[in-house]
């Protein structure tokens, strides 16, 4: 009986200790994340300026307004265009670079890994300004292309909708490929070398080994990076603001950029901005759920 009491007392103490450690973090998450989310949802049902906000009439006015807002619809189209093109290319490059830099006999691996990861350590604003100067009308890219005879005259990359979008995509791939490569590199280093030796004994070539051994074993990491990349791209802001300022004529604007404009650029419309933010949140949640469902290999 005493043994049971002592065991029960020890279990109660362990549970109490666990709750003691969890409570501060839980409170901070609630105060800093969930409470503002609830307040933002309430604000999304109101209209008017920040000093004089009233309940919408009807209460879903801000959400109905989005179906008529052509600029918001354009920002959704732009954001998904970046996502569809940039995310697959970036992740493919990241996997291939990780595989290359994981070779046992490759010399100076540390230097190469650092060089690939270095763009990720660059400030978001700094790298956007660098790309803006590179692709300027009198920038380095134009100078090189004209001297090589590819262009007869300088081309306005950032002033043309298609090329401006291409510059944003190139900038995103340049910056975030190394970030995702680190995750794949960590996943590759956790794969036992005996697995590759067994595949080699079975007659698998380098490509077959990569496709049928490496990729399936990296599937959890691929799903994780895919979800993070989708989340980041749907909230894309810095490149649109610093590279193109949403131009020309709002043809490169993203959802986050448009939400920012409604909040802080001109007359503050926090209710409508909050409603758009919740739409972005729902998009991220749906796409993340789809990816997790597809990537779930459990029976």
What are the pLDDT digits (tens) for 243-262? Answer: 888 888 889 999 999 998 88
**HEC assignment per residue over the chain:** CHHHHHHHHHHHHHHHHHHHHHHHHHHHHHHHHHHHHHHHHHHHCEECCCCCCEECCCCCHHHHHHCCCHHHHHHHHHHHHHHHHHHHHHHHHHHHHHHHCCCCCCCCHHHHHHHHHHHHHCCHHHHHHHHHHHCCCCCHHHHHHHHCCCCCCCCCHHHCHHHHHHHHHHHHHHHHHHHHHHHHHHHHHCCCHHHHHHHHHCCCCHHHHHHHHHHHHCHHHHHHHHHHHHHHHHCCCHHHHHHHCCCCCCCCCCHHHHHHHHHHCCCCCHHHHHHHHHHHHHHHHHHHHHHHHHHCCCC
What are the pLDDT digits (tens) for 32-67? Answer: 888 888 888 888 888 877 677 788 788 888 888 888
Q: Confirm if 158 and 167 have CB atoms less than 8 A apart.
A: yes
Per-residue model confidence (pLDDT) at position 74: 93
Per-residue model confidence (pLDDT) at position 291: 76
Per-residue model confidence (pLDDT) at position 180: 92
* Statement: residue 8 has pLDDT above 70: no
pTM for the model: 0.83
What are the pLDDT digits (tens) for 164-187? Answer: 999 999 999 999 998 999 999 888
* Statement: residue 263 has pLDDT above 90: no
Who's near 71: CB < 8 A, 6+ residues apart? 250, 253, 258
What are the pLDDT digits (tens) for 62-85? Answer: 888 888 889 999 999 999 999 999
Provide the percentage of residues in the chain whose pLDDT is more than 70: 95
CA distance 140 to 252: 22
Per-residue confidence band for 299, with pLDDT thresholds at 50, 70 and 90: very low
Q: Confirm if 255 and 79 have CB atoms less than 8 A apart.
A: yes
* Statement: residue 276 has pLDDT above 80: yes
Cβ atoms within 10 Å of 295's Cβ, excluding its own: 15
Per-residue model confidence (pLDDT) at position 4: 54
Which candidate, 17, 39, 8, places its Cα nearest to that of 278?
39
Per-residue model confidence (pLDDT) at position 85: 93
What are the pLDDT digits (tens) for 205-234? Answer: 777 777 878 888 888 888 889 888 988 888
Which candidate, 171, 168, 127, places its Cα nearest to that of 254?
168
Per-residue confidence band for 114, with pLDDT thresholds at 50, 70 and 90: confident
Report the phi/psi class of residue 28: left, alpha or beta, with left for phi > 0 and alpha for psi in -120 to 50: alpha
Which candidate, 224, 111, 233, 259, places its Cα nearest to that of 175?
233
Q: Tell the residue number behind the tokens 């090189």, with chain if given.
A: 144
Per-residue model confidence (pLDDT) at position 298: 53
Average model confidence (pLDDT) across the chain: 85
Query: Of residues 199 and 166, which shows the higher confidence score?
Result: 166
Per-residue confidence band for 3, with pLDDT thresholds at 50, 70 and 90: low
């Amino acid at each position: 009986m005493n043994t049971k009491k002592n065991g029960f007392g020890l279990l109660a103490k362990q549970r109490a200790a666990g709750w003691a450690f969890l409570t501060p973090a839980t409170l901070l998450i609630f105060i800093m994340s969930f409470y503002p989310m609830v307040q933002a949802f309430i604000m999304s049902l109101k209209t008017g300026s920040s000093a004089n906000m009233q309940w919408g009439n009807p209460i879903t006015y801000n959400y109905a307004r989005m179906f008529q807002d052509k600029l918001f619809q354009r920002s959704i189209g732009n954001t998904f265009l970046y996502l569809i093109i940039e995310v697959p290319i970036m992740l493919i490059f990241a996997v291939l670079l990780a595989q290359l830099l994981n070779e046992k006999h490759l010399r100076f691996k540390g230097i190469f890994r650092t060089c690939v990861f270095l763009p990720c350590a660059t400030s978001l604003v700094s790298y956007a300004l660098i790309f803006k100067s590179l692709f300027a009308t009198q920038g380095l890219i134009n100078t090189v292309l004209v001297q090589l005879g590819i262009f007869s005259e300088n081309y306005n990359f950032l002033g043309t909708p298609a090329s401006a979008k291409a510059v944003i995509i190139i900038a995103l791939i340049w910056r975030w490929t190394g970030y995702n490569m680190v995750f794949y590199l960590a996943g590759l280093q956790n794969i036992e070398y005996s697995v590759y030796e067994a595949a080699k004994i079975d007659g698998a070539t380098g490509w077959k080994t990569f496709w049928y051994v490496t990729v399936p074993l990296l599937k959890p990491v691929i799903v994780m990076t895919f979800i993070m990349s989708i989340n980041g791209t749907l909230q894309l802001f810095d490149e649109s603001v610093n590279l193109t300022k949403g131009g020309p004529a709002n043809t490169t604007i993203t959802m986050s950029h448009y939400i920012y404009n409604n909040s802080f650029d001109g007359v503050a419309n926090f209710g409508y901005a909050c409603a758009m933010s919740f739409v972005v949140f729902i998009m991220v949640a749906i796409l993340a759920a789809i990816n997790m469902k597809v990537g779930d290999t459990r029976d």
